[in-house]
Amino acid sequence: MRRAFGALVVIGALAAVPVAIRAQAEQTWKGAISDSKCNGKHPAGEHDGKKMTDADCTAVCVKKGAKYVFVSDGKVFQLANQSSKQIAAHAGQQVELTGTLKGDTITAKQMKAAK
């Protein structure tokens, strides 16, 4: 009985390894770099009624303490590497982002303007 239980534990552990590896595999998403305050919706009234571009709104919100986020298909992902100049350069823009996903947080490796 102990032997059978031990074998089941080993098989279960080995079966979990591919799932863990797949979770860390690089993926590519299309979406927008935004900020955690607006989450991709940049209302004109947020900044004293001033009309701003998405890029300007994202920059203002980040300066006020918001974090960069990635919005794709209506889902908001946190971005792990907040100090990335690449993320700041694409703030408020549609991008193709390549990185790794863990939970709801993406570690961005590469991004380019979306086609």
The 10s digit of each residue's pLDDT in 3-61 is 655 555 556 666 655 555 555 689 999 999 999 988 877 666 566 677 788 898 999 89
CA distance 60 to 82: 15
- The answer to whether the beta carbons of residues 31 and 95 sit under 8 Å apart is yes
Q: Give the pLDDT score at 44.
A: 62
CA distance 79 to 99: 10
Mean per-residue pLDDT for 51-72?
Answer: 91
Mean per-residue pLDDT for 93-112?
Answer: 94
Q: pLDDT grade, residue 102 (50/70/90)? A: very high
CA distance 43 to 63: 17
Q: Give the pLDDT score at 46.
A: 63
Q: Give the pLDDT score at 85.
A: 93
Beta bridge partners of 99: 27, 108
Domain ranges of the chain: 26-113
| Contacting residues for 31 by C-beta, under 8 A, at least 6 apart | 70, 71, 72, 73, 94, 95, 97
